[in-house]
Amino acid sequence: MDAANVHNYKRHITSFEILPCDERFLGDQLWVVQIKGSAFLWHQIRCMVAVLFFIGQGLESPNVIDVLLDIERTPRKPQYKMAPEIPLVLQSCEFEGLKFSCSSEARQALQAHLEKECRSYKLQAAIFHEALQCLCIKTDGSWPNRITKKKESSHIPLMLRATEPSYEERCTKLTTGSGRRKGNYGAPHA
Whether 44 is covered by a domain: the verdict is yes
Return the number of other C-beta atoms located less than 10 Å from residue 1's C-beta: 16
Whether 176 is covered by a domain: the verdict is no
Whether 148 is covered by a domain: the verdict is yes
- Total tally of structural domains belonging to the chain: 1
Q: What's the rounded Cα separation, in Å, for the pair 136 and 146?
A: 9
Which pLDDT belongs to residue 60? 95
Whether 72 is covered by a domain: the verdict is yes
Whether 54 is covered by a domain: the verdict is yes
Whether 163 is covered by a domain: the verdict is no
Query: Contact 177/4 with Cβ under 8 angstroms?
Result: no
* pLDDT tens, N- to C-terminus, the chain (190 residues): 677 787 777 888 999 999 888 877 777 788 888 898 888 888 999 999 999 999 999 999 999 999 999 989 998 889 999 999 888 887 778 788 888 888 999 999 999 999 999 999 989 988 988 888 888 765 555 555 555 555 667 899 999 999 988 888 888 888 887 554 444 444 454 4
Cα separation of the two ends of the chain: 22
Whether 186 is covered by a domain: the verdict is no
Whether 125 is covered by a domain: the verdict is yes
Query: Contact 63/55 with Cβ under 8 angstroms?
Result: no
Which pLDDT belongs to residue 55? 95
* Residue 73 domain boundaries: 13-153
